[in-house]
Amino acid sequence: MNKKSFLATLFSLFTLFACNQPIDDFDAQGDNFIYFDMPNVLNQLGHPTKVRDTVMSYSFDMDESHVTFHTFKIPVTIIGIPSATDRKYHVEVVADKSTATAEDWDKTTISNLTVKSGEMRDTIYLKVNRTEILQKEERRLVLRIVPNEHFLSGYNNLLEISILFTDHLTPPEWWEKWQSIFGEFSREKFTKWKEIYYLGADPNVERFEGPGLDKPLYWDNMPYYTILSWYPSTDMFIQMLRQYFIDNEVYPDGDTSKPRITIPYTG
């Protein structure tokens, strides 16, 4: 075994014993295991927990109209010994947990999956389509790793992954915390806020705590606290947003039968 293969094997063994859920069947007889190598879930402070994520999601809602598909990059890792030859592995759709139809994704992207010779990792490039139904409802595609002649099943909690995709605009994670300031969520309000509070507009960084600590403040890295006296620059940009909707009559989806869009925060 060359140095590269030895190091890859050593890394794989380290991964095996470092994981919360050991594979009891692993032995020195050449068994190889395969699993979806998803990242650890982060806590509220942005620190990794011991829980692995099992969901990947994407929304086309803010993409330009010419964007017709998205490619998920799903990491796969092997535990065992590198091979001198390519090794195929199999992934199946869990039909009773999935809602995606044949029109929603490209089935060929999970066919002929191969771990290349000498490698201990692979990536599945799963293509999903921007179908019209996504504007009304979310689609779910659940994939499961299937053991074969090359690989046994790896960690039980990492053998399935859920792929969620939609074209329906949903509020960012921070909106609920900030709803008393921004009011009810709408596409128009969110789009204007992204236009006003873009990356680089505010020279300040998050200086208290949270996953965005020491990173620039902008629409996708909102202040950790909603006490705007602690964030005067963010306050200024919110006042700009409020003034825009005072000066311009804007309605959700252009529907004048609905209440006019406003920002409740007055400073």
Q: CATH number for the domain including 22?
A: 2.60.40.2030
Would residue 260 count as lying in a domain? no
pTM of the model: 0.63
Q: Are residues 124 and 60 in the same domain?
A: yes
Q: Are residues 117 and 204 in the same domain?
A: no
Q: Are residues 123 and 234 in the same domain?
A: no
- CB-based burial of residue 12 (10 Å sphere; 0-12 exposed, 13-18 middle, 19+ buried)? buried
- Determine the structural domain holding residue 220 and report its residue range: 175-254
Would residue 264 count as lying in a domain? no
Residues across the chain: 267
* pLDDT reported for residue 44: 62
Cα–Cα distance for residue pair 46/190, rounded to 1 Å: 24
Average pLDDT over residues 42-51: 78
Using the 3D structure, point to which of 147, 166, 185 is the last residue of a domain. 166
Q: Are residues 81 and 187 in the same domain?
A: no
Q: Are residues 135 and 34 in the same domain?
A: yes
Q: Are residues 150 and 197 in the same domain?
A: no
CB atoms within 10 A of CB 202: 19
Average pLDDT over residues 237-261: 94
The distance in angstroms from the start CA to the end CA of the chain is 68
Would residue 266 count as lying in a domain? no
Q: Which one, of 222, 135, 136, lies nearest residue 182 by Cα?
A: 222
pLDDT band at 69 (very low <50, low <70, confident <90, very high): very high
Q: Are residues 159 and 182 in the same domain?
A: no
Using the 3D structure, point to which of 123, 138, 166 is the last residue of a domain. 166
Q: Are residues 140 and 194 in the same domain?
A: no
Cα–Cα distance for residue pair 261/89, rounded to 1 Å: 52
